[in-house]
Amino acid sequence: MPKDGSPERDLEMSATGLLRQDSRDSKDDSKDGEPWKSGGVAGKSVRTQIIDAFCIGLNILSTVLLVFLNKWIFRDPQLKNTQISFAMWHFTCTTLVLYLASRPPFNLFVPIRLPFLQMIPLCSFFAGFLILGNLSLAYNPIGFYQLAKILTTPCVALLQYIFLSKSITLLTMGALASLCAGVALTNSGASGITTLGASIAIAAFTVTAFYQVWIGKKMKDFAVSSPQLLLNQAPISVLLLAFLVPFFDTVPDVGVIPRDTVIALFLSGLAAAALNLSQFLIIGRMSALTFNVASNVKTIIILTYGWISDSRLLTPKDLLGIVMALGGATLYSQLASK
pLDDT (tens digit, 9 = 90+) per residue, 188-201?
666 678 889 999 99
pLDDT tens per residue across span 61-117: 999 999 999 989 998 988 988 999 999 999 999 999 999 989 999 888 899 999 999
Rounded to two decimals, the pTM is 0.73
Quick one: pLDDT at residue 278? 83
The dihedral through the CA atoms of 83, 143, 68, 194 has a sign that is positive
* DSSP state at residue 256: G
Assign 206 a pLDDT band (cuts: 50, 70, 90): very high
Q: Please check the confidence at residue 35 and state whether its pLDDT lies above 60.
A: no
Quick one: pLDDT at residue 93? 95
Helical spans, DSSP H, in the chain: 7-15, 17-28, 46-73, 77-80, 83-102, 116-139, 142-150, 152-163, 170-187, 195-222, 226-242, 245-248, 259-285, 288-309, 316-336
Quick one: pLDDT at residue 338? 66
Q: Please check the confidence at residue 38 and state whether its pLDDT lies above 60.
A: no
CA atoms within 13 A on the CB side of 109: 23
Q: Please check the confidence at residue 303 and state whether its pLDDT lies above 60.
A: yes
Cβ proximity of 183 and 327 under 8 Å: no
The dihedral through the CA atoms of 206, 306, 197, 74 has a sign that is negative
